[in-house]
Amino acid sequence: MGSDFALRDPRLPPELERKVFKIAGLARPTGIPALMPVARRVKGWVEPLLYRVVLLADASMNELHNLALPIVTVDALEKRPHTCLQHVRSLFINGKLVGENKLENWLLACTGVTNLYAQFLCTPKILPSLSGFTNIRYLTIDFRALCGPTVPLPLFLTVTHLELLDFTNECKGKSADRLCQNLSFIPCLTHIAFNMYLDTLASHAAVCAMAQLQCIVFLSIWESFDGSPLLDDSRFVCIKDDSELGYYSDWLYGVVFGEDYWTFAEAFLAARRAGTIDRMCSKAL
């Protein structure tokens, strides 16, 4: 009788069962709600995966749908336990969409993030809310975060890939000098990208002098490199970025598939070193 029951009710070892459900959840995150009612233990395994990637921006939701990613809204902060948000690993957050008060709350709730796209002004008021991040590797942020007297650690302590934004074209004079000084003190930094405006205002010579950098990317819609020492730097690549919404898709494909402008730039530099493209060519697109 016992053996008959065992045949009718086969069981996987718990560790294998957990892996099966997690693989299913990662393969199609939008299907996670259908897996959660299977059992309490299954819910515990797969529910955190719902929040692995969070895009809080006014972008088209078609990209999320195409990638089978669930849509997380700004009010999820009130509707979900904060323990769920501790499982967020990739966060794109638009400050205007979220609002000032909720922005701080979201930043404080998602301290497990390793990839942060901070699309908001880094004012002195908001900087303390960023101090809880201790494991960021990929960071896109307003250049003002690096215009203080010191590098704001621990936020930058583990950053390897850094993209800098300038929303107001104000990176001038002392701000630009302080920015370049602080960049050289980020201990793990190997990849740097400068967005619009910063391509002409940041010191090209100072960037070239940063020996720890392996890849220097300028995301630019203008030709601003005549006579620049970057043109003789084997680590430099210019990617023409004239799309308004392309960065949403690029970020999503980076966190889901590991393919974004960083990998594009690395492939370009590798091809140039191998001689398959002109060694004097710095424009990847």
State residue 236's pLDDT score.
94
Does the pLDDT value for residue 279 go beyond 70?
A: no
Does the pLDDT value for residue 5 go beyond 50?
A: no
Query: Model confidence over 61-74: pLDDT tens digits?
Result: 677 777 878 888 89
Alpha-carbon distance of 106 to 98, in angstroms, equals 9
The listed range with the strongest mean pLDDT (7-16, 196-205, 226-235) is: 226-235
* More confidently predicted of 144 and 84: 144
State residue 95's pLDDT score.
93
Does the pLDDT value for residue 18 go beyond 50?
A: yes
The lowest-confidence range among 77-81, 123-127, 171-175, 190-194 is: 171-175
Query: Model confidence over 33-57: pLDDT tens digits?
Result: 777 778 788 777 777 777 889 999 8
Would you list the DSSP string of the chain? -HHHHHHHS----HHHHHHHHHHHHHH-GGGHHHHGGG-HHHHHHHGGGGGSEEEESS--THHHHHTTPPP--TTHHHHS-HHHHTT--EEEEEHHHH-HHHHHHHHHH-TT-SEEEEES---TTTGGGGTT-----EEEEEGGGG-SSS--TTTTTT--EEEEE-SSS---HHHHHHHHHHHTT-TT--EEEE-TTHHHHS-HHHHHT-TT-SEEEEEESS---TT-GGGG-TTEEEEE---SSHHHHHHHHHHHHS-SHHHHHHHHHHHHHHTSS-TT--B--
Query: Model confidence over 117-157: pLDDT tens digits?
Result: 999 999 888 999 999 999 999 999 999 999 888 888 899 99
Alpha-carbon distance of 285 to 264, in angstroms, equals 10
State residue 285's pLDDT score.
57
State residue 54's pLDDT score.
92
State residue 201's pLDDT score.
75
Domains recognised in the chain with CATH numbers? 11-47 (no CATH), 52-274 (3.80.10)
Residues in the chain: 285
Assigned token pair, 68: 């089978």
* More confidently predicted of 27 and 191: 191
- Give the max Cα distance, the chain: 86
Alpha-carbon distance of 98 to 108, in angstroms, equals 14
Please give the distance of CA 258 from its chain centroid, rounded to a whole number.
Answer: 11
pLDDT-based confidence at 1, cuts 50/70/90? very low
Contact 51, 84 (CB under 8 A): yes
Residue 272 amino acid letter: R
Assigned token pair, 185: 């003190």
